[in-house]
Chains A and B, each alone.
Chain A
Amino acid sequence: MQASLDEIISRYKAGSRESLLPLLQDIQIEFGYLNEEAILRVGQHIKLPSSKVYGIATFYDQFRFVQKGKFHIKVCRGTSCHMHGSLSILREVERVLNLKEGQTSRDGRFSLEAVSCMGACGSAPVMNVNGEFKTAIAIQDIAQIINFYRSTI
C-alpha cells in the first residue's frame, strides 16, 4: 500500500495547495477511503498541517474515513425521489440491512449512503448499488434486491 500511496502523491507538485483536493480524490479512488496515514502524508507533501487537511476533507461529502462496504448502496433523496417515497425506501433499506445511513456493516459487506440527487429524476425513486442503478423501486422490492447481493458473497 505504501508504494502506491507514494506513487499517487508524487503525481502532484509539492507545496501546491490547489492540488490538495484532487490528490485526496485520487487517493480515495485508489483505496476507497482516506486513512490517517494518507492524510498525514498528503499534509507533508502539500505543506499543510494535518489538522487543516482533515478539516478540509471532512467538509466535503465525497470523502470517507472508513472503508466502504463490498456493496455500496446509495439511495437518492432528491426532490423527485422524495415525492415518490424515497424516505420510506431509505428506511426500508436501513431496516433490511440493519444499518443507518452513512454506516458500513461490521462484516464490511454493505455500506449505505443517502445522496441528494443522482440526476435520474425521470426514473424516481432510484437507488444505486456499486454503480448499478435500480429504477422505479417499490418498498416490496428491497429485501429481494439486497438478498440478491447477500447471496453473491
Chain B
Amino acid sequence: MDEKQFLIEKVLAVKADLTQREVTDALALLRHDTVNIPVVYIGSGTCGKVAGANETFAAVNSYLEEKNIKAEVVQVGCIGLCSYEPLVDIQLPGKARISFKNITHERVETLLDDIFNSEVPNENVLGQFSNKWHNRWDNVPLINELPFFKLQHRIVLANCGISNPDSISDYIARGGYQTYLKCIRNYTSEKICNIVDQSGLRGRGGGGYHTGEKWMMAHNTVSDQKYLICNAAESDPGAFMDRAVIEGDPHLLLEGIAITSYAIGATKAYIYVMDEYSQAYFMLNQAINQLKDYGFIGYNIFESGVDFKITLVKGPGAFVCGEETALINSIEGKRGMPRPKPPYPAIEGLFGKPTVINNVETLANIPFILRHGPLHFNEIGIPEARGTKVFAISGKAMITGLVEVPMGTKIRDIIFKIAGGVKDGKDFKAVQIGGPSGSCLPASQLDLTVGYESLWNEGAIIGSGGMIVMDEDTCMVDIAKFFMNFLQKESCGKCIPCREGTRRIHEILENITRRPTGESGFEVLERFKGIIQLTDLSEVIRDTSLCGLGQTAPNPLLSAMKWFRDEFEEHVFDRKCRAGVCKELRLFYIDVDKCIGCVACLRKCPSNAIVGQPRQPHFIIEEKCIGCGICFDVCKFVAVKLK
C-alpha cells in the first residue's frame, strides 16, 4: 500500500480508526517523529537560501555520498531564527532531533563527522527537540526552553521549520485535512462561521475586522458565485511572515482556505502572491498539485457534495495591491487602484460577486480553531484580541526573525526577552511596528501590549506585523523620510491627497535634512513654511484619502514627530543630526592633538575642504565641507570627529 492509498483509506476515510497501532506507527514515521535512517534537515526558506542554504544542501549531499551514508535530507522552511541561518537539524534513529545554527557549507563536514560519531560539537549548537519517541542528547538545551522560543505560543508557525513542506503526507500525518473533512462532512457552513465568530479571531492583515462577521456578511449575501481571496500580497518592507508560513507550511494555509471557502459558500479561491516570492509561489503550486492528486480539489470532494478550486495569481508588484479593492482590480486584470467602499467586497467584490479577502495569517489560524474549538482559541490572548500574532523582527535586534506571541504580550518582552535586545551593545531608541504606515514607538511606550485597540489608542497599529528595532545610530527624521519616500512611490496615484500630499511631505523632510549652507533666503522661507504645514497636511491626507494606504500614510511622520520631537527640532533649528545619518548635516572637525598630518584625508577630500601641511595638524573649512565623511572613514588615528 503506498503512502497516498494508506492515508486516504486509513486516515482520511469516514470510518478511519486512528487509534490502531499500525496507523499510529506509520504516521509517526511519516512525520519523522521516529526515523529508521538518519535525517538531515536544512532550513531552506528564502532567508536560509540567502544565507547559503543551497550550498549547505549540496555539501551535505556530497558528504553523504562520499562517505556512503544512507540518510534522508529534508529541506524545511524557516523556524524563525533568520539571523542563525543556515540552520541544520540532524536526527539519528532513536535520538532526539538536534539543531545547529550558522552551518555554512564549509562547516558541514566537521559537523557531520562529529554527529555521525555520536558527538555533539561544542560550537553552533542551538538545542534539541524532544518527544516520547526518542532519547535526549546530554548537555544540549531543549529548543523550547531557549529564551527565543520560551515566550512564544506557536499556532501558525507550529510546524514551520520542523515539518517537511514538500510533503502532503507529513501534513496529513500531523492531523492535517482531517479538520477540513470534518467540516464538510459534519458542519453546515453557518456553523463554521459561528465557530470562527465565537473564537474572536480578527483579521491579521492590519484592519482588525472580525473575521466571523466578515464571513457572515458574505455568507448571507445571495449570489450564484462567491469567492475567497487569500491576500499574500505582502510587500511591506520588513515583513515576511506570510512568506515564511507559505514556505514552511503551505498545506496549513491551504486547509484554512479550503475551510473558509466552504464556510462562506465560495467554490473558487484565489491566492494572490507577490511575484518576488518565487519560492512561496513554487511551494503553493506544488502543494495545490498534491491536493488535486489527493482529491481535495475538484467536484464532490470526498463524496461530500462540495466543489472547490484554487487559482494561484502572481501579483505583479505594487504595494497598494495589499488593499482589498485594489487587489480585486488586480486579479480582474486591471490597474490595481482601490475602489470606493461601500460597496464592500463581502457584498460586491471580485467580478461583482460577494468576496471575502483574508490575509495569510488569518487563514492559517482557521484549521487550529476548528480542530480545537473556539473556546480553546478564546483562552489565548486578551479580550480585545484572541489568539496569537506573528511578528517579523528585523533591524538592529540581536536576533532577527519570526516570532509568534499571544496577543497581549508586552512589546518590551518581544524585543528584549525573545529577540535578545539590541545588537552590538547599542542603546535602544525606537521600534517601528505596523509596516510603512505604522508608527515608531520610543522606549517609554514599550510596555504597550500587542493588540488592536491597545495600540490604536496610542496612535500605533499592529499592521501586518513588521517590527523593526532601531538603535541610537538611527535618525528618526531619516526614518520618517524613508517611509514617506516609500509611500509616495507606492501611492497608486488615484486620489489627490495621497498622490500629491505624500510627495510634498517627503520633499519637506528632504528639505529638513538638506545641507544648510548656500541656502537662499527664499529656500529658507520655503523650508520653514513646509515644516509649519506638516501637521495640517498630514491631517488632510488622513481625513480624505481613498484607501487605507493614504489614510495611514502620515502615521510614520506623526508618530516620529510625537515621540521624537526634539530630534526634529534639532534638525530644523540647529541643523544637526545627532545620529550622524543625515549626511548633509554632518560637520566634522579635526582633533589637533590626534592628527599627525598624514595627509590621507586631505588627498581624499572631494571638495578640497581640508587644509594643512604634511606632518602638521590639518583643518576643515566648514563652508567647503559637503559632509560626505570620507575623511572620517580614511583617518586611521580617529582624529576626524563629528561636531
Contact = CB atoms under 8 A, between A and B. Distances in A.
Contacts of A55: 335
Interface string B334-349: 1111000000000000
B237 A83 contact: no
Nearest to B486: A116
Contacts of A25: 275, 314, 316
A20 interface: yes
B506 interface: no
A117 B237 contact: yes
A83 B240 CA distance: 17
A74 to B, nearest CB: 9
Interface stretch (B114-122, B296-304, B392-400): B392-400
Nearest to A63: B316
A9 B346 CA distance: 33
Interface string A94-112: 0000000000000000000
A77 to B, nearest CB: 7
Given A18-B331, A79-B468, A126 B50 contact: yes
Interface in B194-227: none
B46 interface: yes
| Most central of A20, A56, A116 by chain B CB within 10 Å | A116
B316 A62 contact: yes
Nearest to B275: A62
Nearest to B483: A79
Contacts, number: 120
Interface string B350-378: 00000000000000000000000000000
Q: Which of under 10, 10 to 19, 20 to 34, or 35 or more describes the interface residues of B? A: 35 or more
Given A22-B313, A61-B317, A79 B333 contact: no
A122 B275 contact: no
Contacts of A59: 318, 335-337, 492
B539 interface: no
Given A78-B237, A80-B468, A120-B47, A62 B82 contact: no
A17 B332 contact: yes
Nearest to A124: B394
Contacts of B313: 21-22
Interface in B123-151: none
Nearest to B401: A122
A10 interface: no
Interface in A105-153: 115-124, 126, 133, 135
Interface residues of A, number: 37
A83 B316 CA distance: 27
A24 to B, nearest CB: 7
Interface string A16-42: 011111101100000000000000000
Contacts of A61: 316-318
A82 interface: yes
Most B CB atoms within 10 A — which of A22, A80, A81, A135? Answer: A80
A4 to B, nearest CB: 20
A60 B318 contact: yes
Interface string B262-292: 0000000000000111000000000000000
A59 B432 CA distance: 29
A17 B185 CA distance: 36
B394 A60 contact: no
B435 to A, nearest CB: 9
A116 B275 CA distance: 13
B589 interface: no
Given A22-B314, A60-B317, A126-B50, A116 B394 contact: no
Contact of B238 (A56, A117, A126): A117
B106 to A, nearest CB: 16
B312 to A, nearest CB: 9
Contacts of A62: 275, 316-317
B47 A119 contact: yes
B597 to A, nearest CB: 25
Given A21-B316, A124-B394, A117 B236 contact: yes
B631 interface: no
Nearest to B51: A123
Contacts of B47: 119-120, 122-123
B409 interface: no
24 contacts: A18-B333, A21-B316, A21-B330, A21-B333, A22-B313, A25-B314, A56-B333, A59-B336, A60-B317, A61-B318, A79-B237, A79-B238, A79-B394, A79-B436, A79-B468, A79-B483, A80-B468, A83-B468, A119-B276, A122-B51, A122-B85, A122-B394, A122-B400, A123-B51
Given A21-B330, A22-B314, A119-B243, 9 more contacts: A21-B316, A25-B316, A59-B336, A62-B275, A78-B238, A79-B466, A80-B394, A83-B468, A121-B240
